[in-house]
Structure 1
């Protein structure tokens, strides 16, 4: 259909009259309807597409308790990025020592897995390629992790445990998140009030996660937690935070050692079999020569 049809006001007036006539119980002549049938079909197709998109939009939004419209994204007052940093610090600088002591963190410990609001979602991230992040719940793919995070916030909000005390980002002051991510504000002058507040939070974590009356393992981990995280929260030049880090085994060195050992075993096995074969061959040669030197009977 040409664009000139859209520019003709009489066509729109006729179409409006045709649509309204269906509601009022009378119809246009058949000849008029047939002449404008293509335009009528086109307009109705547009209306159907608008209706479909409207239905999809209403599926995505919901009404709040006060009657206001809320979209599919839900506001959570907990930073996912800083919670992720705090979790990585816990896994790298604390949990290896906890596992070494075979100690079970109590459920009331705020660094426990169950006290991370985002843990269920984070464990369902599939990073299959450098530019492919996939949702483990509905298998949708995204180019970047931040888009997958937005997808979790809008589509899988029901998996978040928004109970009080479930935000690991609130522990970043005690766990030195800014030091790990390299926040520029660390270069500013030390704030004694902030340092005291972080130290108090850090010590409360040590007391709740590793009670000294729960045995030798808890006692040792309590002292370790204070040295690893808490002692550095001072403006008077305390110990360096996160000073102890478990040594990671060099996997390349381990594989190289295994291959070298196998090659040495093959080499010595070959040398042993080769010498054994030479020794057997020389004895057989001596036996043949000895038989050949015997005198023939006359």
Structure 2
């Protein structure tokens, strides 16, 4: 760190010399002047070399991923269906996925970076940290943004449920419906087997049918029922009690049966005549 900071004063002096030489009319190679202007960088700006801006909303991508995980993937897993690599709801099409999976939320006011373990009070500051320090972990190879699917996946409705009663835009509804149909055809081709065919129809009912201004079905109407922890505990206790009950009944019947057999032996021995 010390060596890195020590070179900046000399660089500032060189830059001042180049500027003053231009002012007084001295001839200085343009390549040298341009190189020092472009290379001059404030060491305290918190950004690493190679930083580039990503034109993709992290927040909306996060909402889209949440919808996919809650309203689509449980049915995909139930069918044991493998999403094709060109499907845009596939994990690799979320450029923020690697970073999002390295978020550690241990407390309400503690968000920790899974790469360098640095802690933050709010998630937004961790997002800023990812942008400045770990932008190399962005999965930008496909050039896709999951937030681009928000119109088809009803992200605005999930963020604000009051939008369900807002005025419908026919052009936007038609555009989102077309995107839904394109996703269904790409992710669940009907000629790819029974599972793909069922998921294709499900995807259209779950997302596409609601994109209409003529009173279609309610969006995101199908959601897997999550069994509560209390339900699981009660079911487990009931199963254990039933097991103990039937074990007790079995042992009792076995004991009664062995007791009756022993009683028969005693009676038979008592009825035998003693030898004279």
* Corresponding residue of 1:126: 104
* Corresponding residue of 2:5: 55
Deviations 1:136-158 (CA, angstroms, capped at 9, x unpaired): 11111111111111111111000
Deviations 1:216-246 (CA, angstroms, capped at 9, x unpaired): 1111111111111001111111111111111
Residue 95 of structure 1 pairs with residue 73 of structure 2:
yes
Q: How does 1:121-270 map to 2 (within 5 A)?
A: 121-182=99-160, 186-263=164-241
Give the match's secondary structure for 1:246. Answer: coil
Deviations 1:12-34 (CA, angstroms, capped at 9, x unpaired): xxxxxxxxxxxxxxxxxxxxxxx
The TM-score with structure 2 as length reference comes to 0.71
Provide the C-alpha distance between the structure 2 equivalents of 1:64 and 1:168, rounded to a whole number of angstroms.
39
With over 3 angstroms needed to count, the CA separation of the structure-2 counterparts of 1:65 and 1:200, relative to structure 1, is farther
Structure whose CA Rg is larger:
1
Give the match's secondary structure for 1:134. Answer: strand
Structure 2 unaligned regions, length at least 5: 9-34, 260-276
Question: Cα offset for 1:129?
Answer: 1.7
Deviations 1:227-275 (CA, angstroms, capped at 9, x unpaired): 11001111111111111111112221111222244356557878978xx
**Contact conserved, 1:178 with 1:186, CA < 8 A, in 2?**
no
Aligned length: 225
* Corresponding residue of 2:94: 116
The TM-score with structure 1 as length reference comes to 0.66
Deviations 1:59-117 (CA, angstroms, capped at 9, x unpaired): xxxx9995574841642111111111100100111011111111100000000001110
Provide the C-alpha distance between the structure 2 equivalents of 1:112 and 1:221, rounded to a whole number of angstroms.
15
Question: Cα offset for 1:122?
Answer: 0.8
Give the match's secondary structure for 1:257. Answer: helix
Provide the C-alpha distance between the structure 2 equivalents of 1:95 and 1:255, rounded to a whole number of angstroms.
26
Provide the C-alpha distance between the structure 2 equivalents of 1:189 and 1:230, rounded to a whole number of angstroms.
18
Give the match's secondary structure for 2:191. Answer: helix
Provide the C-alpha distance between the structure 2 equivalents of 1:183 and 1:268, rounded to a whole number of angstroms.
51
Give the match's secondary structure for 1:241. Answer: coil
**Contact conserved, 2:92 with 2:139, CA < 8 A, in 1?**
no
**Contact conserved, 2:93 with 2:142, CA < 8 A, in 1?**
no
CA RMSD of aligned residues (A): 3.2
With over 3 angstroms needed to count, the CA separation of the structure-2 counterparts of 1:165 and 1:176, relative to structure 1, is farther
With over 3 angstroms needed to count, the CA separation of the structure-2 counterparts of 1:186 and 1:163, relative to structure 1, is farther
**Contact conserved, 1:74 with 1:154, CA < 8 A, in 2?**
no
With over 3 angstroms needed to count, the CA separation of the structure-2 counterparts of 1:64 and 1:173, relative to structure 1, is farther
Question: Cα offset for 1:130?
Answer: 1.8
